[in-house]
Amino acid sequence: MSMEVTAWHQLYSMNDRPERRPVSRATLRRIGAFARPHRRKLTLFLLLSVVMAGLAVGAPLLAGRVVDAIFAGEPIGVVVAVALAIAGLAIAEAGLGLVNRWLSAGLGEDLILDLRTAVFDHVQRMPVAFFMRTRTGALVSRLNNDVIGAQRAFTDTLSGVAGNVVTLLLTLVAMIGISWQITLLALLLLPVFVLPARRMGTRIARLRREAADHNAAMGTQMTERFSAPGATLVKLFGRPAHESAEFAARARRVRDIGVRSAMTQSAFVTALTLVSALALALVYGLGGFYALAGQLAPGAVVAMAMLLTRLYAPLTALASARVDVMSAIVSFERVFEVLDLKPLIQDKPDAREVPEGPVAVEFDDVRFAYPAADKVSLASLEEVATLDTRGGVEVLHGLSFRAEPGQMVALVGSSGAGKSTIAQLLPRLYDVDSGAVRLGGVDVRDLSADSIRDTLGMVTQDGHLFHDTIRANLLLARPEASEEEIWDALTRARLATLIGSLPDGLDTMVGERGYRLSGGERQRLTIARLLLARPRVVILDEATAALDSTSEAAVQAALGEALEGRTAVVIAHRLSTVRAADLILVIEDGRIAERGTHTELLAAGGRYEELYRTQFEDPTASGVAAA
């Protein structure tokens, strides 16, 4: 490694220094647990790193031997033999380098796979409350940046420390054996080489962190403005000129920092390269003096000069080894931080299946409060200094009702009364604090998550779709569904004609969140997905609230297919859509204020009658007049 390359390596290794703190043994044990499945490959990788370090010292000594042979007038065969030995060392080093790189790449990618899979699987088990609080970008960073940072502990830092220690020891032994005076001089010059790197590294790290902050702000602005709803909002209410100026200001700041960083780095590397050149000149001068005085062979001077370049590289690398190790440890700790966040919703070891046949839904004296942030999230994932400790305020107060198999129970009431919370307790997106929610007579906490998913289907107001094909979005509900079953579901959802008219049919991309489709089409596609899943219990959470009258009529027809013969819990803002419900519950402030059929509640003249009359008398209430 040349001294200029060494300077760059030292500079970069000093960036983003982690906080000085002790490393816990528990963290080291967990790192060892991830490395244990790859211990054979890791051992071979380290052994090859050590062997390559030894080979690196042999070339300078052989080069000095060639010079001595030339000056001594030895037979040409000796020179050729030593030259061939140098070539053999180079070939061996290159071959072992390729093998070592293959091992390094395999080991690193295996570790990345293990870590990413562990984090991804764990995050999927987290409750909905976790995703409602966490910034997606921060979570994705754990799967990318921190996982790669942890991987470097094995592929770069560990092998680098082992190889550099061996290289340093062998180089020092060889140099001391040739001339202890020149070796001492080389070591005395080391602080001139290392100390500026530490100071400059801190300065550049500060610039890079500032640039990273501006880049993050630009990334957030682009992510929000480039999404379909964000772009629409800017076009409708935003100020494009202001948005452009704000983005340009951040971009210019990043540019200015980039120029300063580049000049600082170049000045630093140039200075260190100059120091290295002066050190070589000094070695040649002192070595030449000893050679002319007959105290040192000419070849030894050449060998010392070459060994000098092999001395600074491992010394400077080892000087920053602690920083590299701590950086990797911090990456591991950030990954483990996510893995240590326990999911609030977990299957019991003896979790049961939902009983076969028609399913009844029952809420028995249910009380519930949303969990506080410290129960479901991390400050680093929310990008706040401390988590919000508020929480535990009860939002459902002793709720009890029952939907018999095949019945429809409708939940109506003011916004914020707790209707959607009730719907989220059924599929066990949250667990109740007291009381019980039962499916088929069994507490959902005693059921397996897979069984609940197979039993229950839900259609929400936003009708979320992934940026994928229509086919892929439908098969999410039942991957083994046949083509015939897919088209049957689309027909019943009143979408078959539309999908059949598209050039790519089922392979049409729906766009991010399904925004290439209209609101009604998107909602009917989610209903088709529900039909394909064939659940025994259906939850509809404001499924038609955001639709116009025409779209609502199509969706209502599709919902008729979805609800036929199934137990249903329907949350409705438009009361005209639930008049045929077997039971209507009026929810106010987390309690059941009234219950009965449409006719009974109107006759009672209470809150339901007030809501119904308000909608019918409001000429802007879409869909009510036609009811």
152-211 pLDDT, tens digit each: 766 777 667 777 788 888 888 888 888 888 888 777 766 665 666 556 656 766 776 677
Q: For the sheet with 434-439, list strands across it.
A: 394-403, 361-369, 434-439, 442-443
Q: Are residues 40 and 80 in the same domain?
A: yes
Q: Are residues 202 and 264 in the same domain?
A: yes
| pLDDT at position 198 | 59
Same domain? 327 vs 399: no
Is 60 exceeded by the pLDDT of residue 559? yes
* Residue 351 maps to a domain: no
pLDDT tens-digit series, residues 481-507: 899 999 988 888 888 888 889 888 899
pLDDT at res. 534: 85
Note whether 254 and 207 are within 8 A (CB).
no
371 lies in some domain? yes
Q: Please give the tally of structural domains in the chain.
A: 2
328 & 476 share domain: no
**Tokens read off for 364:** 């028995």
pLDDT digits (tens, 9 = 90+) for 375-416: 777 776 766 656 666 666 889 999 999 999 989 999 998 888
How high is the pLDDT of residue 444?
A: 93
Asked, for residue 625, whether it belongs to a domain, the answer is no
**pLDDT digit string (tens) for 245-296?**
888 888 888 888 888 877 877 777 777 677 777 777 878 888 888 888 888 8
Average pLDDT over residues 126-153: 75
Q: Domain holding 140: CATH number?
A: 1.20.1560.10
For residue 172, the Cα-to-chain-centroid distance in whole angstroms is 45
Q: Looking at the structure, do residues 25 and 164 belong to the same domain, yes or no?
A: yes
Of the candidates 213, 211, 210, 235, the residue with the CA atom closest to the CA atom of residue 225: 235
Q: Is pLDDT above 50 for 621?
A: no
Q: 154 and 121 in one domain?
A: yes
Together in a domain, 504 and 545: yes
Instruction: Convert the pLDDT of each residue in 53-101 to its tens digit.
Output: 788 788 888 888 888 788 777 888 888 888 898 888 889 888 988 888 8
The pLDDT of residue 446 is 93
Q: What is the pLDDT of residue 546?
A: 53
Sheet holding 591-596, edge to edge: 456-459, 537-541, 567-571, 408-413, 583-588, 591-596
pLDDT at 359 over 80: yes
Task: Report the pLDDT value the prediction gives residue 18, as an integer from 0 to 100.
Answer: 47
For the stretch 32-41, pLDDT in tens is: 887 888 888 8
Instruction: Give the Cβ contact number of residue 13 at 10 Å.
Output: 22
Asked whether residue 623 carries a pLDDT value surpassing 90, the answer given is: no
Instruction: Say yes or no: 243 and 129 in one domain.
Output: yes
Averaged over 578-586, what is the pLDDT?
Answer: 88
Residue 355 lies in a domain: no
Q: Is residue 347 part of a domain?
A: no
Alpha-carbon gap, residue 136 to 224, rounded angstroms: 12
Regarding whether 94 and 12 lie in a shared domain, the answer is yes
For residue 353, tell me if it sits in a domain: no
pLDDT digits (tens, 9 = 90+) for 300-331: 888 888 887 777 767 766 766 666 677 677 77
**Residue bearing tokens 């050449």:** 302
| Mean predicted confidence (pLDDT) in 128-152 | 75
Tokens of 467: 């940026």
Predicted pLDDT of residue 343:
83
Nearest to 142 by CA among 387, 468, 346, 383: 383
307/407 same-domain check: no
Residue 395 to residue 123: CA distance in whole angstroms:
26
Above 90 in pLDDT, residue 108? no
3-state secondary structure of 335: helix
Specify the amino acid at residue 264.
Answer: T
pTM higher than 0.75: no
**For residue range 442-486, what is the model confidence (pLDDT) as tens digits?**
999 999 988 998 898 888 877 778 888 999 989 988 888 899 999
Q: Which of 4-8, 17-21, 156-160, 305-309 has the lowest mean pLDDT?
A: 17-21
What's the mean per-residue pLDDT of the chain? Answer: 79
Same domain assignment for residues 134 and 94: yes
Band (19; pLDDT cuts 50, 70, 90): very low
pLDDT exceeds cutoff 70 at 20? no
Q: What CATH code is carried by the domain that includes residue 531?
A: 3.40.50.300
356 within a domain of the structure (yes/no):
no
User: What pLDDT sits at residue 17?
Assistant: 47
Q: Are residues 256 and 401 in the same domain?
A: no
Structural domain of residue 595, as residue ranges? 364-379+390-617
119: left (phi over 0), alpha (psi -120 to 50) or beta: alpha
Percentage above 90 pLDDT, the chain: 11
Query: Does 26 map to a domain?
Result: yes
Q: How confident is the model at residue 585 (pLDDT cuts 50, 70, 90)?
A: very high
Between CA 40 and CA 10 the distance in angstroms is 30
The closest alpha carbon to 122, from 336, 400, 398, 357, belongs to: 336
Which segment, 119-128, 190-199, 537-546, is predicted with the most confidence on average?
A: 119-128
Q: Identify residue 74 by its one-letter amino acid code.
A: E
